[in-house]
Structure formats: C-alpha cells, structure tokens
A and B are shown apart, each in its own frame.
Chain A
Amino acid sequence: MSLISLFFTSILSQNIILTRFLGICPFIGTSNKEKNAIHMGLSVILVVTLSSIITYLIYYYVLVATDTIYLRTIMFILVIASMVQLMDIVLKKYFITIHNTMGLYLPLITTNCAVLGTTLLVINNSYTFMETITFSLGSSIGFTLVIYIFSTIREKLDTSDISPSFKGIPIALLTAAIMSLVFVRYI
C-alpha cells in the first residue's frame, strides 16, 4: 500500500519539476514540440530508473561497506554519465531520427538535476530497494507527464494571440507557475 501511495505522490503532489524545481532546463528546452517532450521523457525515465538502482547498490554495498560515503557525489555523477552515454550509443544505433531531433539535449541529461536529484533523494530519505525503484519510476513518470502536458499547452500558445512582451519564454514560465499551483494543491 505504501509503495502505491509513494508512487502516486512522486508523480503528483511531490512532482519533481513542479514542487522540487529540478530539471527545469529540459523542461523549458525540449517542451516546444509534443514529440520532443515524449522522447525526452522516455529517455529520462530510462536514465533515472537505471541510475537510481545502480547508485543505490553502489552506495549501500560499496560506499557504506568501505566507509567512503564522501565519494557519493562524484560516484553518482559517474554512473549517470555512463548511463546517458549508454543510451546515446543505443539511440544512435536503433533510433537515429530521435537521436538527431534531441540533439544537444540528450548529452545534457547528464547534468539534468532531476536525475542527480532523484538519486540523492533516495539516499537522503533512506528508502529500501523496492521503494527506490518505485520512487525513481514515479518521479520520472511525473517528469514525463508534466513535460508532455506543458508541451501541448505550448503548442497551443504558439498559435494564439499573445502580447509581444509575453511571447515565447515569459508566457511559458507563467504557464509553468500556474501548473505548479495545480499540482501542489490539486486545484
């Protein structure tokens, strides 16, 4: 039961973008088209889930066991970068078009703070292994959900009549602010 509630809280009320403000760069950067948003979301789901599992194992079975917890940050970044690199290789081979449309934003997942944020939150909240999987899956699905909803709104905004001073990023940020209210309080 608690796993299910953890899953849904990490998607909705504890959403990684709208309540923790992590991963804003890809949130604004790749949400201009619906398709880009979905590709970004799926890549993030993969990277976050894989790296959370690996960093969990490394943290508890290597770092804690050998009393070298101070290596946490560099170790996690190392794992995340490798996972992104791995995905880069796989996407280049099987989904070359997706690889080309994502362009610069694919390697930028490495420094997407949503990814490092999730792995660190897992350690800070001292989750168990099952909770880690649930939480990382939930947060990344929450990321995908929000970036997808946001991209559909932005596509609509592109064709609507907006005052020139708000066009582009300003209106996108305002939209994000209103979405954030909706997610936190379930309006």
Chain B
Amino acid sequence: MIGVFILTGIAFLLAVLLVFVDSKLNEEDIDIEKVLDLLPGYNCGACGYPGCKEMSHEILKEKENYKKCVPLRGENKKKMEEYLYEGE
C-alpha cells in the first residue's frame, strides 16, 4: 500500500517541477504564429537569419530584433510594434 503513495508522491513532485519550469520559461504572451503572420514572409534574409521563421524565433528571444527586418515598413511595422508592446 505504501508503494502507491510513494509512486504517486514522486510523480506529483516531478509533474509540479515540469509545470513550474514550463510556465517560467513560457511566461511571455507573444505568440510565434502571430509574429510570423506579421512579418512580410519574403524570406529575403536581409535580417541576417535564414528566413522569416528563424527571425520570429529571434523576436521571441529579444523584441528589439524586429527592427532588423528591412522590408517591414509603414502600416505593417506599426502593427508589429503594437502587437509586441501592447502589454506595456
């Protein structure tokens, strides 16, 4: 009987650890799909990354990186800024 409690207890502890780490690492509210949508989608490489997908990962790490995107101008740039900084 004690085995049931031990197994459940340790499984519970591990689950808490995983949930804690996951929520700690993914606490930003920026969604990668949304950022990818807002980028021009030319995959031109002018930002220095292989394509828009890689660029969107960089934006997730550091918001300022959206400035590296050369074809992102005017209305679209404004939309991106609004999205990235809406919570602030």
Query: Closest Cβ of chain B: how far from A124's Cβ, in Å?
Result: 21
Q: Does A48 contact B (CB under 8 A)?
A: no
Also in contact, A82 and B14, with CB within 8 A (given A66-B2, A75-B7, A96-B57): yes
Comparing A14-22, A86-94, A103-111, A149-157, the segment that makes contact with chain B is A86-94
Inter-chain CB contacts under 8 Å: number: 40
Against B, the Cβ 8 Å flags (1 = close, 0 = not) of A54-77 are 000010001100111011001100
| Contact A89 B22, beta carbon cutoff 8 Å | yes
Instruction: Mark B1-41 against chain A: 1 for CB-CB distance below 8 A, else 0.
Output: 01100110011001001100110011000000000000000
* Contact A66 to B6, CB < 8 A, known contacts A89-B25, A96-B57: yes
Closest residue of chain B to A97 (Cβ to Cβ) is B54
Interface of B is mostly: helix
A66, A67, A90, A93 interface centre (most CB from chain B within 10 Å): A93
Interface hits, A16-44 → B, CB 8 Å = none
Q: Which residues of B contact A74 (CB under 8 A)?
A: 7
Q: What is the size, in residues, of chain A's interface with B at 8 Å between Cβ atoms? A: 20
The smallest beta-carbon distance between A159 and chain B, in angstroms, is: 25
Task: Compute how far the CA of A67 lies from the CA of B22 in the bound complex, rounded to whole angstroms.
Answer: 34
A85 in contact (CB, < 8 A)? yes
With contact pairs A75-B7, A75-B10 given, residues A86 and B21 touching in the complex (Cβ less than 8 Å): yes
- Min CB distance B27 to A, Å, is 11
A86-B21, A89-B25, A93-B26 as given contacts; A68 in contact with B14, CB under 8 Å? no
Contact A93 to B25, CB < 8 A, known contacts A78-B11, A79-B14, A86-B18? yes
Task: Give the distance to chain B from A68, nearest Cβ to Cβ, in Å.
Answer: 5
Cα of A68 to Cα of B3 in the assembled complex, Å: 6
Contacts of A70 in B (CB 8 A): 3
Q: Which residues of B contact A66 (CB under 8 A)?
A: 2, 6
**Contact (A89, B10) CB under 8 Å given A68-B3, A70-B3, A71-B3:** no
Within 8 A of A (CB), among B28-80: 54, 57
Residue of A nearest to B26 (CB): A93
- State in angstroms the CA–CA spacing of A67 and B18 once bound together: 28
A63 to B5, CA, bound (A): 12
Q: How far is the CB of A22 from chain B (nearest CB, A)?
A: 24
Contacting pair A82 B18 (CB below 8 A): yes
